[in-house]
C-alpha cells in the first residue's frame, strides 16, 4: 500500500519514505478545484515504463522531449509531468471522479521543491523517486491519501 500524508508532504511505500508536493490549493474532490483528493484509491494505470529520466508527458503520452532549463524558460507556467505516471482511481464515494480529474503521482523537474505544497492537484515527486516507486508498484495497488 502507498500512503500519502498531506500534512507531512510524504509518500510511504514498503518502509521507504519520499518527500512529495501536493496541491497548492489544498485538499478536495471538486472538478476544476486544482485540489488533491483524499481517501482510498487504486493505481489504475502505470505510464512511462523505460522512458528517459525527465521525459515530458502530455496527455499521458511522451512528447519525445526531455525537460531542460531551456524548455522551462520557454514555458515557465507549464505544469510539468515528467518521467513516469501512476494514474489514480478513487474508490470512495466522494472521490470517484479522481481518474476523470487526471490525478497522478508523477515526476517533476528536479529543481522543484518537495516537502511543501505546489502542485495543481497531483502528487509530484523527484524523478529518481518516482522511478523507484513505479518499479515497485503494481496496477491495482491500494493508495491512501490522508491529511494527518
66-91 pLDDT, tens digit each = 999 999 999 998 999 999 999 999 99
For residue 93, pLDDT beyond 90: yes
The tally of domains found in the chain comes to 1
Reported as a single tens digit per residue, the pLDDT across 4-26 is: 999 999 999 999 999 999 999 99
Q: What is the CATH number of the domain that holds 19?
A: 2.40.440.10
Domain range for 120: 2-146
Q: What are phi and psi of 128, to 5 degrees?
A: -65, -35
Q: What are phi and psi of 146, to 5 degrees?
A: -120, 160
Residue 126 C-alpha cell reads as 523527484
User: What CA–CA distances, in Å, run from 13 to 16, 133, 144?
Assistant: 5, 8, 11
- DSSP per-residue codes, 50-84: TPPTTEEEETTEEEEEE--HHHHHHSTT----EEE
CB 78 within 8 A of CB 30: no
Q: What are phi and psi of 97, to 5 degrees?
A: -90, 5
The percent of residues above 70 in pLDDT, for the chain, comes to 100
Mean pLDDT of 45-65: 97
CA angle (33 as vertex; 29, 38 as ends), nearest 5: 25
> Which run of H or of E encompasses 128?
helix 127-136
For residue 148, pLDDT beyond 90: no
Question: pTM of this prediction?
Answer: 0.96
* Mean pLDDT computed over every residue of the chain: 97
Amino acid at each position: 500500500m502507498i500512503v500519502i500524508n498531506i500534512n507531512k508532504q510524504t509518500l510511504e511505500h514498503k518502509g521507504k519514505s519520499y518527500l512529495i508536493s501536493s496541491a497548492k490549493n489544498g485538499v478536495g474532490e471538486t472538478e476544476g478545484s486544482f485540489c488533491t483528493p483524499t481517501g482510498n484509491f487504486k493505481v489504475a494505470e502505470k505510464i512511462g515504463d523505460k522512458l528517459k529520466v525527465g521525459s515530458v508527458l502530455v496527455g499521458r503520452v511522451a512528447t519525445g522531449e526531455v525537460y531542460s532549463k531551456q524548455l522551462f524558460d520557454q514555458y515557465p507556467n507549464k505544469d510539468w509531468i515528467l518521467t513516469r505516471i501512476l494514474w489514480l482511481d478513487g474508490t470512495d464515494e466522494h472521490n470517484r471522479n479522481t481518474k476523470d480529474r487526471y490525478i497522478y503521482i508523477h515526476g517533476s523537474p528536479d529543481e522543484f521543491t518537495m516537502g511543501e505544497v505546489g502542485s495543481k492537484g497531483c502528487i509530484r515527486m523527484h524523478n529518481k523517486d518516482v522511478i523507484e516507486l513505479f518499479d515497485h508498484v503494481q496496477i491495482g495497488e491500494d493508495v491512501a491519501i490522508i491529511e494527518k
